[in-house]
Chain A
Amino acid sequence: MRLHLTEEDAAFREEMREFFTTQVPQHIRDTVAARRELSKEQMVESMQVLNAAGLAVPGWPVEWGGKDWTPLQRHIWHEELQLANVPQPLAFNAGMIGPVIAAFGSQEMKERFLPKTANLDIWWSQGFSEPDAGSDLASLRCAAVRDGEEYVVNGQKTWTTLGQYGDWIFTLVRTNPEAEKKQAGISMLLIDMTDPGVTVRPIELIDGSVEVNEVFFEDVRVPAENLVGEENKGWTYAKFLLGNERVGVAPVGATKRMLAQAKEHADLDDVLVASRIAELENELMALELTALRVVAHSADGKPHPASSVLKLKGSELQQEVTELIVDLAGPMSLASGAGDGSDVPDWARVATPGYLNFRKASIYGGSNEVQRQIIAGTILGL
């Protein structure tokens, strides 16, 4: 057992810190720090800066731009990135479809998509959930019927995050409605969102933001070469993807940063406030240390079952910090719509929208109830 990073890892951390705090444009990091919405251009620029330095997709196979870092180094990269207020590489690209194509796609598909995916030349959307298929994803109905060298897709996806920016969407579609097990009739299909028959309709969320969408498919003709891997094996690929997603959603560094900012606005002489912050800091540290332990034990890139702990606790703490900020803002937290002529500081204006928005964290990426199910079933054998 040893507390210190090895000299090599300490130097690695320094290198990451230096890069993130000097090479990623300040206006982008300021937007993140201010908890303001990033524009599409900012997200693309940020990911391209990272990609140019080989830091956008370290989790991918080396031949497609990944790094043969140790799990600890991956963790350090992720933490330092968040601590420096650098936007995370677009999860749909870097964390979801990229690794799936790299693992299961044909050579042709890899060459066609991976470089553009790493560079955010293609913006991917995730088309999994449907109105009637949420936690029970395998009951999805959006259908793809083979017609010669094409699939004809009909149905609806929903909750498609940032679908308004999407160039392509990776979807789970039903290719065999007769399959005995519903999981066995699902395929993964890549669809160009500019294809005729694709309609994207925004959904306004409770904080007033428009970050999710409904996506409708009406007789959309998709070339068969856009099938990932084999037909009716989509569920396997989806499980692989969702496992990766769970690891990525314990945003310890970002929550630490958010709490540090909250402290700047808090009256630390107020014992109730100070003790609430101290408790949150302690729990966040416990989560970070748990992440380090989980990272050390995740064999060959497979998520450790305890990564459900990270998702569950990580989202709870993220939500608790956003809640704290609203409390610190007090009555000023009502001024979310304030513009020029208001004395309410910026941090207080964004407090409530941020709080409302982050209620999502315990719903997406496998809801926290689903994570409890995984812990009880896979880890505890219940």
Chain B
Amino acid sequence: MDFTLDDEQEALRDAVRGLLGKAYDSSETRREVTKQDPGFGEDTWQRLAEMGVLGLPFAESDGGMGAGPVEVSIVAEEVGRVLAPEPFIETVVLAGGIVAAAGTDEQRADVLGRVAEGSLILAAALKEIGEPVTASQSGDGWTLSGSKEPVLHGERADAFVVSAKTDAGTGLFLVEGDASGLTRTGYRTHDGGRAAHVAFDGTSATPLGDVSADQAGVLETAVASAQVAYCHEAVGAMTVALNTTVEYLKTRKQFGVPLKTFQALTFRAADMYVSMELVRSVASWATLVLTDEPTRALEAASRAKLQVSTSGRHIGQEAIQLHGGIGMTAEYSVGHYTSRLTAIDHWLGGGADHLKRLASSVGDHEVVEPLPE
């Protein structure tokens, strides 16, 4: 049991922090970038590719770096610290992770190779508001019908990883961005991101791996890895939201004294710190579970996501409150952190969804043992 990073991991963290810190040297820079489509920096994306970050979790034979969940978590946390809008988790961890888990050798080498190079923005289309997207076989090809929403970065995406209903259950498909019968309607999300309604109308799709079997399990596992990565993005965001708030309490004066004179405020900051420590612990643990005890991946992801929901709301809400009016403005950073934390909370299962999952299994164990027996 060891929570410390090794030298190489620290070097990765420093390199990514350097790159993203330069790209988003202020909240204002980020706001400029997210105002323009596609909502992130194409050149920052290329620089991440050059650094090897976009191929981090993929096998070397697929054009990646062969790194594990710990390295992914390091990048995600840096993304969270500056609220970098690049779709690292969306494209690399989630959509890329699904391809890595379900794709054939050729699909992996082709698709993941291009993701790693930075030449392919891949979006995962998994959520439906109404009826599920259905897949049907016609001749030796497959087509999809129905619509997905919200699909993060669905407007900019070069290709989609789509889950669809098959006779076997859930199938996973790859759809090219220029496929006929594909319509996307993009919009902005409150956190500066982009999402889209993506409709399929007899759109031709390539099965990812073997869709004659139910791929729900493969999907769930890939989603769990992305959930844990999002938890680290949230940890990065919470760290900065807390630090910013603490600094503000030291510098802002009212009644002729710094705000930190008021215990009603410092106690609330202390409680935020407690929330921060708890969420950091659970997120790090969940990452280690992905590596060392993969049979508990779904449980670990739910535990982390639940804690992220609790701590994220607490820290996000208090960060604004302790700033007063300035915390409400788009010009100031702290509200954007709260907005992003709110998005993460509700993406890939909200706190309540994960609590429900955990509640349904409380009878399966006597105590929760975080360390393997």
Check if B190 is an interface residue, CB within 8 A of chain A: no
Question: How many interface residues does chain B have, given as a range?
Answer: 35 or more
Q: Is the interface of A mostly helix, strand, loop or mixed?
A: helix
**What are the interface flags for B1-37 relative to A under an 8 Å C-beta threshold, 1 for contact and 0 otherwise?**
1111110010000000000000000000000000000
CB of B368 closer than 8 Å to a CB of A: yes
Q: Does A338 contact B (CB under 8 A)?
A: no
Stretch binding the partner chain, chosen from A43-51, A161-169, A371-379:
A371-379
Query: Does the CB pair B267–A4 fall under 8 Å?
Result: no
Stretch of B126-134, B195-203, B357-365 at the chain-chain interface? B357-365
Q: Write the chain B residue with the least CB distance to A279.
A: B355
Q: Is the CB of B3 within 8 A of A296?
A: yes
Q: Could you tell me which residues of chain B, from 217 to 250, have a CB within 8 Å of some CB in chain A?
A: 246, 249-250
Residues 269-328 (chain A) with a chain B CB within 8 angstroms: 271, 274-275, 277-279, 281-290, 292-293, 296, 306, 309, 312-313
User: Which listed segment binds A: B117-125, B176-184, B285-293, B341-349?
Assistant: B285-293
**Nearest residue, chain A, Cβ from B289:** A3
Least distance between B227 CB and chain A CB atoms (Å): 15
* Total contacting residues, chain A, CB less than 8 A: 48
CB distance from A76 to the nearest CB of B (A): 9
Would you call A1 and B362 a contact (CB within 8 A)?
no
Across the interface, which residues of B come within 8 angstroms of A380, CB to CB?
246, 266, 269-270, 273
A72–B280 Cα distance when bound, in Å, is 19
Contact partner of A2 among B273, B288, B366, CB < 8 A?
A: B288
Q: Which of A256, A259, A284, A286 has the most CB of B within 10 A?
A: A286
State how many angstroms separate the Cβ of A279 from the closest Cβ of chain B.
6
On chain B, the residues within 8 Å of A292 by CB distance are 1, 3, 281
Residues of B close to A373: CB separation below 8 A: 263, 266-267, 270
16 A–B contacts from the bound complex (CB under 8 Å): A1-B4, A2-B292, A3-B285, A3-B289, A4-B292, A5-B372, A277-B359, A282-B358, A284-B368, A287-B278, A296-B2, A376-B266, A376-B269, A380-B273, A382-B260, A382-B266
Give 20 A-B pairs besides A5-B1, A260-B367 with Cβ atoms closer than 8 angstroms: A1-B291, A2-B2, A3-B1, A3-B291, A3-B372, A4-B372, A274-B362, A275-B355, A275-B356, A278-B362, A279-B306, A281-B358, A282-B358, A283-B278, A286-B307, A296-B2, A296-B3, A312-B274, A371-B270, A382-B250
Residues of B that sit less than 8 Å from A by CB: 1-6, 9, 70, 246, 249-250, 260, 263, 266-267, 269-271, 273-274, 277-282, 284-285, 287-289, 291-293, 303, 306-307, 355-356, 358-360, 362-363, 366-368, 370-372
